[in-house]
Amino acid sequence: MTALLGTDDVSVRFGGLHALDGVSLGVETGHVTGLIGPNGAGKTTLFNVVTGLQPPDAGRIVLDGRDITVAKPHRRARLGIGRTFQRLETFGTLSTRDNVLVAAEMRRGWSHERSDVGTGVDEIIDRVGLRGVADERVDQLPTGMARLVELARALASRPRVLLLDEPSSGLNEAETRTLGTLLQELASDGLAVLLVEHDMSFVMGTCAHIHVLDFGRVIAVGSPHEIQADPTVRAAYLGAGDDDTAAGSGGPVGGPDDQPVALATVIAGQHEELTPKAQPDPAGAALALRSVTAAYGSIDVLDGVDLTVMPGQVYALLGPNGAGKSTTLRVASGQLAPTGGEVWFAGEKVTGASADRLARNGVCLVPEGRGIFPNLTVTENLRMATYTGTSLRDVLERAFARFPRLQERNKQIAGTLSGGEQQMLSMARAMAVDPKVLLLDELSMGLAPLIVEDLYEVVARIAAEDVSILVVEQFAHEVLDVAEVAAIMLNGRIDYVGSPREIGEQLDAAYLGLS
């Protein structure tokens, strides 16, 4: 069957990062097609290219045989491309019905149709299962229901192709099953669906065909069974370990990953067998969270998080996308005030302390995405670290000692560095202020395994300097090699804390259980 939507050799660059590299895929009418891959693989970037929000540097987009590469986003929507977003994009102050009505009225406006909009909106609301909250304000709904509102709104535009970016995030197990059934019904009615998801059990049970992205390239295409058995896919998700079976053997890969929610699903089923360990006294910890809750507006994200990082310890926090890992780091660094619980730093309670105060006292966050100034040089980026009073000479000396490559590129514009060099710069700037606690969010995102290995050698050396480190990571094998304690986070809670070996065994068993 000919694909209704296709991408042909699409490439996108962001400075030194090759986000998409010759990506070609097809989405057929009547099927749900999956698009999976680790964080930073390029999935959302591809969605943005298809919908016209991001122009490609090379390649083309074809819809029903028509080249739409240069078409404006609104034109593509009118041609039949609808989408949802990874970050919720609803009208929070409007009701569920009014959110859907906005899309339906817009379609009637440009299509000049005279159909009864209200009846069609009610039919969509019923089909998606939102009748009970049709008159509720969307910003008062749980995350899962708000995502269904976004789906219903997309359907109201009557798309021919529907692009869904993590639609199951925030849904419970029963709601996820219902969503899977709905997507298959929509496809059987003649819709083409492209699904980006981190919940592997949802993907494998819903999609007829799956494409796998890694570092901006398609590394595998096939049925769910073929994808599960593909050693290249396993290596991309799990990382490479010393005990890996040779590629192509079909054997297990040595280390786990925090990406597939299916890992979390299996672990959750074993919950009664995994007894959380008692937390040490926070007064003796470098960093501790006790019964912490946190929310973004009305959306609860953390639900009673207990976490303890002892002095000089590397603590690895693993879990699926949407589990709350990055939010935990934001609370620990003072960027997000908790709605409940306590935050401790260096033996003192600092709940509600500002990010500025915590940074000056020694809590330093290296954010997901690196957080460098792309239009400044390497040296100018490092100069930003002098706000604590450390001289530029000392900052540069410390940075170049840890990362000699940065000295070679000290006058280079940071945005033109490679992804690995940008991560080095971000870490160098953090360490230049001599932190007591270092928070690392997805250190490996978008980087080649060899670069990740080098960076974690630096992490090990930093830990040896008596710096406490809390790290959120997708290449679990690499972080478990340097961690002393590891934890699994699910649905805003830390479900299990154990040794790296114990956590690795649980995650590996869960991943292999997919087959």
pLDDT at 254 over 70: no
Which of 187-191, 214-218, 284-288, 367-371 has the least mean pLDDT?
Answer: 367-371
Q: Does the pLDDT of residue 309 top 60, yes or no?
A: yes
Sheet holding 314-318, edge to edge: 363-366, 437-441, 468-472, 314-318, 485-490, 493-498
State mean pLDDT over 230-252.
53
Q: Mind listing the pLDDT tens digit for each residue in 430-458? A: 888 788 999 998 887 766 667 788 888 88
Neighbours of 21 (CB within 10 A): 17
354 pLDDT more than 60: yes
User: What is the per-residue pLDDT across 51-93, written as a single tens digit (0 to 9) for each?
Assistant: 999 999 999 999 999 999 999 999 999 999 999 887 778 888 9
- CA–CA separation, 115 and 482 (whole Å): 62
Runs of H (alpha helix) within 433-499: 449-464, 476-482
For residue 351 the two structure tokens come to 């709940």
Rounded CA-CA distance 72/67 in Å is 12
Over range 132-158, report the average pLDDT: 88
Q: How far is CA 174 from the centre of its chain?
A: 23
- Of the candidates 443, 341, 359, 431, the one whose C-alpha atom is nearest the C-alpha of residue 40 is 443
Q: How many helices (H) and strands (E) does the chain have?
A: 19, 20
| Mean pLDDT calculated for residue range 26-47 | 89
Token look-up 């961690």 returns 483
Please, what sign has the CA dihedral across residues 20, 24, 29, 30? negative
Domain at 1-80+159-229, CATH class: alpha beta
> Taking all residues of the chain, what is their mean pLDDT, rounded to a whole number?
83
Q: Which residues contact 19 (CB under 8 A, 6 or more apart)?
A: 12, 13, 42, 45, 216, 446
The b/e string for 76-97 (b: 16+ C-beta within 10 A; e otherwise) is: bbeebbbbbbbebebeeebbbb
Q: Find tokens 């379609």 and name the residue.
A: 107
* Alpha helices (runs of H) in 333-475, residue ranges in sequence order: 355-361, 378-383, 392-402, 404-408, 419-431, 449-464
Q: Residue 258: what pLDDT?
A: 34
DSSP 313: -
| Distance in angstroms between the alpha carbons of the first and the last residue of the chain | 28
Q: Where in the chain is the domain with CATH 3.40.50.300?
A: 1-80+159-229
Tell me, what amino acid is at 273?
Answer: E
Pairwise CA distance, residues 324 & 492, whole Å = 5
Q: Which residues contact 389 (CB under 8 A, 6 or more apart)?
A: none
